[in-house]
Amino acid sequence: MKKIKIIYWITTGIIFLFEGIMPALTGHTELAKEGVRHLGYPEYFGPMLIGFKILGTLAITIPLVPARIKEWAYSGLGFTMVSAFISHWVIDGFSGVTVFPLFVFAILAASYICYHKLAGRKPQSSTEFDALEFS
């Protein structure tokens, strides 16, 4: 269990740094704004995305956050990584920049799996979730 806890905090810390701290510190730069424009998104999209990334990383990092909120935060951050991969692939083709979001997604997935192992439960399938909620 100690090994799982160490992996959880390392992977969650990396996600917090890459998806919470770095965007908060660099999101206002001209380079970041140009990156958003280059992908074809409107100017308001960048600050909105940064805000949601910060909230999501705080939710998965702070232990007192309820499990349901953590689940939504993990899924939102996962959607962000998959969307970044697709956006870069469509605009720039396949390159190192294209693959990087999948690398971060793998770290996020490791954090998510460890979170559930530490909580003593497996991630639920949608049918199990429905049975729990409505029975």
**pLDDT tens digits, residue range 29-65?**
999 899 899 999 999 999 999 999 999 999 999 999 9
Question: To which H or E segment does residue 54 belong?
Answer: helix 45-61
Q: Which helix (H) or strand (E) holds 34?
A: helix 30-38
Helix residue spans in the chain (DSSP H): 2-15, 22-26, 30-38, 45-61, 67-92, 96-119, 126-134
Confidence of residue 134 (pLDDT cuts 50, 70, 90): very low
Instruction: Give the count of domains, the chain.
Output: 1
Query: Residue 27: helix, strand or coil by DSSP?
Result: coil
- φ/ψ of 63, rounded to 5, equals -65, -25
- For residue 91, pLDDT beyond 70: yes
Domain, as residue range, for 66: 2-134
Whole-prediction pTM: 0.83
Distances (CA, A) of 32 to 28, 44, 49, 118: 7, 12, 12, 36
More confident residue, 120 or 19: 19
